[in-house]
Amino acid sequence: MTKKDTLISFNKILTAPEDAKISIFDRGFLFGDSVYEVTLTVNKEIIFIKEHLDRLNKSANAIAMISQFSQEEIREEILKIQSILGFDRMYFRIILTRGEGEIGLDPDLATKQNLIIIGKSLSEYPTKWYDQGVEVIIADTLRNPRKAMDPNIKSGNYLNNVLAMIEAKKRNAFDAIMLNHEGNVAEGTTNNIWMVKDKIVSTPPLKAGLLEGITRAKILHFESLNYKVIEQDIAPSQILEADEAFFTSSTKEIVPIVKIDDKVIGNGKPGLITKEIHQKYKEIAYLK
Amino acid sequence: MTKKDTLISFNKILTAPEDAKISIFDRGFLFGDSVYEVTLTVNKEIIFIKEHLDRLNKSANAIAMISQFSQEEIREEILKIQSILGFDRMYFRIILTRGEGEIGLDPDLATKQNLIIIGKSLSEYPTKWYDQGVEVIIADTLRNPRKAMDPNIKSGNYLNNVLAMIEAKKRNAFDAIMLNHEGNVAEGTTNNIWMVKDKIVSTPPLKAGLLEGITRAKILHFESLNYKVIEQDIAPSQILEADEAFFTSSTKEIVPIVKIDDKVIGNGKPGLITKEIHQKYKEIAYLK
C-alpha cells in the first residue's frame, strides 16, 4: 500500500492510496451495498477483461443497480494505471458502490454511484503452492444460499467467507471449502473447487450456490482433452476420496490441493491432470 | 447530512459529515467486515445504551473481533455529540470495523480497528405509521441462515435485507417480512416481527434466525399483562390470520401492521394490544 506500487482511480480521478477515502455514508461501507471484480494484467495485458466487466454488470443488475460507468471507461482507467505504474504483472480490483445518501436500506436514497479501481503490482505467488500443493479444511460455516444472498453476486458482502477463512487460519490451513445447506461442496472462500476421479474432472454446478468463476468457465470449455470435464454435485465424502483436487481463481489461477481436513488427496502431491489444466489455462490466458 | 444537524466521531475525533471519510482499504468497505448498533436519545437520554453496547461486543466477538474501544469511551463520544448538537431527539449509529490492511479475507491483515459514531437529529416518525398502521409484503428473498451468516450478528453485511427492501418498494409496501429456509417467519429487514392471536402475543424464537432485538427482549419481559407473550415459530399462514401484527425496532419502536401482501390483518386498523404494548414500551424506555 505504498505510493510507489499502488494507484487508485476514484471516480476516474487518480489518487494515491493514502488519500483514497470514501464517505462513511457510502452504502458500500454501511451495508456492503456494492459489487466488485478482481482481474490482473500479465505482460501488461488485462486477462479476460471483457468477461470481468460483463460479470460486474451482471452482479450489479442482480441487486437492481445499472452501472453508471461504461465498460470502456473502466477499461481506460485500468490501462491508465497500468501505464503509469508500468509493472508487468498487476492486480486490479474494481469496486462499484450504490453511492452515498441518507442512512436507510432503501436503495433510492443514493443516486450517484462511486467507482473505485485499485491497481497495484503483484508479485508471483509462492511457487510452493503450485509445486507442493496446499492443505485446506472443510468449514463449519456454510455458504450463503442462493435464495438469500446468491454467491453468484460478487458483492461487498463477504463476511460469510471471512468467517470460513477464520476457521481455516485457526487450523493452519491455506483456505476453506464451504458447503451448501444440502451438505454438498459449494466453493472456496474466493475460488471455485474441483476434483478429479478416474480421469473425470468435475466442479459443482451453479445451482450448488457459487460464483460462476471465469477461470472455471474457461476450463469447462477446454477442448480436445484426454479427460472429461463436467459439472456435478460433489459430496464431501467424494472429494475426500478424489485422485486430485484443486482451486481455481482469476488471480491464483490453478492451485493444487493435497490435503483436506486430515485426509491426504491422491498421493499427497499435485496431480498430473491438475498441472496439465494449469498449463493449458496459462496458454489461453496469456502465453499466446 | 448537513453540518448543522449531524456530527461524526471518527476514532474519537469530532468530524463534520462531509469530511468523514474512511480508507477504501478498510475491511468494512471491502467486505462488510464490521459490526454496528443504532440507538437514540430521547429527552437527551440514551435509550438502553448498556444493552446496545453489550450487543455490539457480542456481534464483534461472533466474528472473532475484540473491541479496541471500551463501552465507556463509546458512551462518552455519544454524549459529546449529544451535548454539542443539543437536540432532544437524536439518532446514533455506532460502527466498529476490523480496520485497514492489505486486501485479503484473512482478518489478521488489519490490526487497528476504526470506530465511527454518527449522531444526527431525528424528527418524530410520521404519526400515520402509528395511527393507521403500515402495509408490508412477504419477500421472496429469504433471510440468511444462522449456519451461514447469522442474522443475530449485526454486521456490515446488509445486502440480503436491501434485496428484501427492494421487493417491498417495488410493491409499494412499507417493509418486507423475511422468511427463513424452513419457510417460517424470521424478521423484518431492520426489525423484529410479532403477531397477536386470541390474546397471545408471539414472536419467532432466536433459532428461526433473527436479530435478538432490544425492544423485542423488553416486550418478552413485560410483567402483569392481561395477555401472554411467548416465542414460537410462526408460519406465513398464521400471521396472515392474526388478529394483530406489528414490527419492533429501537428507532421506530412499535409499528402496527394492517396488511400483509393482499391480506388485511384484523379489522385493518392498529390493534388494541399493539397500542397497549407501545405505550408500555415508551414508559419503560423514556416516559419515566
R_g over Cα of chain A: 19
Confidence band, pLDDT 50/70/90 cuts, at residue B287: confident
- Mean pLDDT score of chain B: 96
With 0-12 / 13-18 / 19 or more C-beta atoms within 10 angstroms meaning exposed / middle / buried, residue A66 is exposed
> Backbone phi, then psi, for A163, in 5-degree steps?
-60, -40
Is residue B179 predicted with pLDDT exceeding 70? yes
CA gap B142, B36 in Å, rounded: 22
- pTM tops 0.80: yes
CA gap B21, A228 in Å, rounded: 51
Same domain, A133 and A112: no
Kindly list the distances between the CA atom of residue B130 and the CA atoms of A32, A197, B264, in Å, as whole numbers in the listed order. Answer: 31, 62, 16
Interface contact A20-B25, CB threshold 8 A: yes
- Kindly report the CATH number assigned to the domain that includes residue B154: 3.20.10.10
> Among B73, B96, B121, where does a domain finish?
B121
**Is B1 a domain residue?**
no
Q: Is B19 on the interface with A (CB under 8 A)?
A: no
* Pairing of β B244-249 and β B228-231: unpaired
R_g over Cα of chain B: 19
Same domain, A134 and A271: yes
Q: Quick one: pLDDT at residue B288? A: 72
Interface contact B31-A142, CB threshold 8 A: no
Q: Is B35 on the interface with A (CB under 8 A)?
A: no
Torsion of CA A240, A241, A243, A249, to 10 degrees: -30
> Among B91, B121, B151, where does a domain finish?
B121
Same domain, A71 and A141: no
- Kindly report the CATH number assigned to the domain that includes residue A61: 3.30.470.10
Nearest-5° Cα angle at A32, B116 to B117 = 10
Q: Quick one: pLDDT at residue A115? A: 98
| Cell, residue A39 | 482481474
Same domain, B113 and B132: no
Is residue B215 predicted with pLDDT exceeding 80? yes
Is residue B1 predicted with pLDDT exceeding 50? no
**Is A185 a domain residue?**
yes
Is residue B29 predicted with pLDDT exceeding 70? yes
Same domain, A157 and A277: yes
Q: Tell me the mean pLDDT per 10 residues along chain A, length 288.
A: 82 97 98 97 94 98 98 98 96 98 96 98 96 98 98 98 98 98 98 97 98 98 86 98 98 98 97 96 90
Interface contact A156-B23, CB threshold 8 A: no
**Is A188 a domain residue?**
yes
Backbone conformation region of residue A69, classed left if phi is above 0, alpha if psi is from -120 to 50, else beta: beta
CA gap A131, B101 in Å, rounded: 29
Closest CA to A136 of A265, A263, A274, A260: A260
Q: Quick one: pLDDT at residue B224? A: 65
**Hey, of B9, B15, B29, B247, which one would you mutate to test binding to chain A, going by the most A CBs within 10 A of its CB?**
B29
Give the pLDDT confidence of B112-143 residue by residue, as tens digits: 999 999 999 999 999 999 999 999 999 999 99
CA gap A66, A75 in Å, rounded: 17
Same domain, B115 and B170: no
Same domain, A71 and A140: no
CA gap B181, A47 in Å, rounded: 38
Q: Is B103 on the interface with A (CB under 8 A)?
A: yes
> Backbone phi, then psi, for A18, in 5-degree steps?
-70, -15
Q: What percentage of residues in chain B have a pLDDT greater than 90? A: 96
**Inter-residue contact A103 to A86 (CB < 8 Å):** no
Interface contact A33-B162, CB threshold 8 A: yes
Same domain, B57 and B158: no
Taking each helix axis from N to C end, the angle separating A71-85 and A49-62, rounded to the nearest 10 degrees, works out to: 130
**Is B241 a domain residue?**
yes
Same domain, B111 and B216: no
CA gap A233, A231 in Å, rounded: 7
Kindly list the distances between the CA atom of residue B214 and the CA atoms of A5, A181, B56, B211, B220, in Å, as whole numbers in the listed order. Answer: 47, 29, 12, 9, 10
**Inter-residue contact B193 to B251 (CB < 8 Å):** no
Same domain, B33 and B133: no
**Is B205 a domain residue?**
yes
Backbone conformation region of residue B252, classed left if phi is above 0, alpha if psi is from -120 to 50, else beta: alpha
**Is A1 a domain residue?**
no
Q: Quick one: pLDDT at residue A48? A: 97
Give the pLDDT confidence of A177-206 residue by residue, as tens digits: 999 999 999 999 999 999 999 999 999 999
Q: Is B9 on the interface with A (CB under 8 A)?
A: no
Torsion of CA B248, B249, B255, B257, to 10 degrees: -60
| Cell, residue B61 | 466477538
The cell 476514532 sits on which residue? B11
Identify any residues that bridge with A15 across adjacent strands, giving them in sequence order.
A8
Shortest distance between the Cα of A141 and any Cα of chain B, in A, equals 5
Query: How many structural domains is chain B composed of?
Result: 2
Is residue B226 predicted with pLDDT exceeding 90? no
Q: Is B148 on the interface with A (CB under 8 A)?
A: yes
Same domain, A109 and A138: no
Interface contact A169-B108, CB threshold 8 A: yes
Q: Compare CB distances from A162 to B107, B162, B181 and report the shortest one's residue.
A: B107
CA gap A125, A282 in Å, rounded: 14
* Pairing of β B192-197 and β B244-249: antiparallel
Interface contact A142-B162, CB threshold 8 A: no
- Window A:250-269, CB contacts with B under 8 Å: none
Same domain, A102 and A213: no
Cβ neighbours, 10 Å, residue A197: 16
3-class state of residue B89 by DSSP: coil
**Is B193 a domain residue?**
yes
- How is residue B26 annotated by DSSP? B
Q: Is A189 on the interface with B (CB under 8 A)?
A: yes
**Inter-residue contact A18 to A31 (CB < 8 Å):** no
> Among B121, B146, B164, where does a domain finish?
B121
The range of the structural domain enclosing residue B272 comes to: 127-286
Q: Which one has a higher pLDDT value, B288 or B170? A: B170
With 0-12 / 13-18 / 19 or more C-beta atoms within 10 angstroms meaning exposed / middle / buried, residue A94 is buried
Is residue B3 predicted with pLDDT exceeding 90? no
